[in-house]
A and B are shown apart, each in its own frame.
Chain A
Amino acid sequence: MKSSILRAGVVALACALGLSACGGGSGDLYLTGTVSNVTKDGLVLQNNGGDDTPVTTPYTSFQFNNRVSTDDQFNITVKSIPSNTSECHPINGKARANYYTIGQIAITCTIIQHPLTASIKNLTGSGLVIVNGSDRHDVPAGTASVPMATVYEDGAYGVSVLQQPTGQTCTVSGGSSGNGSGIMGSATEGVTVTVTCS
């Protein structure tokens, strides 16, 4: 008899401890989601105006500290954005919590892009082709400037000569690495590299 009372007591205590370990009454559902287009620190998310949660490397997902219970209203908002983005917004960020709704949350940002320009010096021959990776541009003789495709802030660029013009040799200089390569900074005007032909 005594042992059965003891057993019941132990079980009840274990149950109570077990429940309190599950987040101290803050529910049993993790509020998580995916993150896209984030490359650096700075994105901070909030749920219902609190529980600040920074998104850290590798910047592909988030998880709030406080769990929620089924039917709790959650409302995820963006408190601050990384310096190289123009905006971040939640998708399916506001709902009543259940196993379906908490699996649908995403945050997506827009990374700022800046112009990349090639300044062309002394090009008299025809046939010059310059590339920035897959971004290819034919450059006719006499061209002074070529607008390349825009480049993500904090992203790499590297302009090189794919094909030399007839009778001339062109070399690329400038950019933060000096050889036509570099990392795009935050300047609005972007970067101009120089292609010099002789």
Chain B
Amino acid sequence: MKFSLARPALALAITLTLASCGGGGKATFPINVTVSNVQYPGLVLSTNGQDVTINPPATAGQDVVAVFPNTIEYGQEYEVVPKGATVVNHVATGGALPKHQQCSPNSFPFYGTAGQLAKIDIRYTCAIIAYPLTGTVKGLTGTGLVLANGSTTGTIPVNPALDANNAPTGADVPLVMNNVPYASTYGVTVLTQPTGQTCAVTGGANGSGGGTMDDAAEAAGGVNSLVVTCVKSS
């Protein structure tokens, strides 16, 4: 008789416990994002028909943490990409990126199914885009020419053009310096003169091998106006 009272009480307790496991609905998951090194506005991340705008942090260098407006349910798929990006096999191209920057997902997967991981935390890292700094070396016949862009990104050796008999022709040689990030200055100098010749750098925005990778240079896809002219040493 006593047992028959205990049994309904137990059943009630089980029912209450089950109800607390999700209140009769599915578990929901907020989509968190953390973006590093945002320096310019323009980044909009998008998934499941929702957008979140990522602006540069108040304190430069800090990560920006955001969450999408609505949660998604257990089992729903998500793929967080820049809004409007073309996505092929989980590789996103283009979309709403910060000005002058490229952003890519970093270590953590940016797509999946809600519930695969305990917490959805998408990580993106942005970098300033670097543009080509190129031009032409004229009249080079000697060996040993080395150019540098100050102390920034290594040194660039340039060899003379050779004819069929391996004799230097003095013909124009393409010059390719290392890429220069947007808003960064450049100043190309001759680190080592070639044997028997003296070379001088002209061109660039200031006419003497220097300049800034500014909006105009970015719009042109880089700087292609460097000229290094080599003449016989006097």
Q: Which residues of A contact B (CB under 8 A)?
A: 116, 131-136, 149, 151-152, 155-163, 177, 179-183
* Residues on B with beta carbons closer than 8 Å to the beta carbon of A180: 189
Closest CB in chain B relative to A134 CB, distance in Å: 4
Nearest 3 A/B pairs, CB to CB: A133-B150, A133-B152, A158-B189
* Residues on B with beta carbons closer than 8 Å to the beta carbon of A179: 189-190
* Residues on A with beta carbons closer than 8 Å to the beta carbon of B4: none
Max chain A CB contacts within 10 Å: which of B152, B153, B187, B208? B187
B113 within 8 A of A: no
- Tell me the complex Cα distance, A182–B191, Å: 6
Max chain B CB contacts within 10 Å: which of A158, A179, A180? A158
Q: Is the CB of B193 within 8 A of A177?
A: yes
Q: Is the CB of A160 within 8 A of B151?
A: no
Determine which of A135, A151, A162, A177 lies in contact with B190 in the assembled complex, contact meaning CB atoms within 8 Å: A177
Stretch at the interface among B61-69, B164-172, B178-186: B178-186
Q: Is the CB of A156 within 8 A of B190?
A: no
Please name 19 further chain A to chain B contacts, defined as beta carbons within 8 Å, in addition to the given A158-B149, A158-B151, sorted by A numbering: A132-B151, A133-B185, A134-B150, A134-B152, A134-B185, A135-B150, A135-B151, A135-B185, A136-B185, A155-B151, A158-B148, A158-B187, A160-B187, A160-B188, A161-B210, A162-B206, A177-B189, A177-B192, A177-B193
Can you identify 26 A-B contacts, CB atoms within 8 angstroms? A116-B151, A131-B185, A131-B186, A131-B210, A133-B148, A133-B152, A134-B150, A134-B180, A134-B186, A136-B185, A149-B151, A152-B151, A155-B151, A157-B150, A157-B151, A158-B148, A158-B189, A160-B150, A160-B187, A162-B210, A163-B206, A177-B189, A177-B192, A177-B193, A179-B189, A182-B191
Q: Which residue of A lies closest to B209 (CB)?
A: A160
**Beta-carbon contacts under 8 Å, B31-47 to A:** none
* Residues on B with beta carbons closer than 8 Å to the beta carbon of A132: 150-152, 187
The B interface is mostly helix, strand or loop, or mixed, namely strand
* Residues on B with beta carbons closer than 8 Å to the beta carbon of A183: 191
Tell me whether A160 and B189 are in contact in the complex, defined as CB-CB below 8 angstroms, given that A135-B151, A151-B151 are known contacts.
yes
Q: Map CB proximity to A onto B118-162 as digits: 1 under 8 Å, 0 otherwise.
A: 000000000000000000000000000000111111110000000
Closest CB in chain B relative to A158 CB, distance in Å: 3
Q: Which residue of B lies closest to A183 (CB)?
A: B191
* Residues on A with beta carbons closer than 8 Å to the beta carbon of B152: 132-135
* Residues on B with beta carbons closer than 8 Å to the beta carbon of A182: 191
* Residues on B with beta carbons closer than 8 Å to the beta carbon of A133: 148-153, 185-187
Q: Which residue of B lies closest to A180 (CB)?
A: B189
Q: Is the CB of A159 within 8 A of B185?
A: no
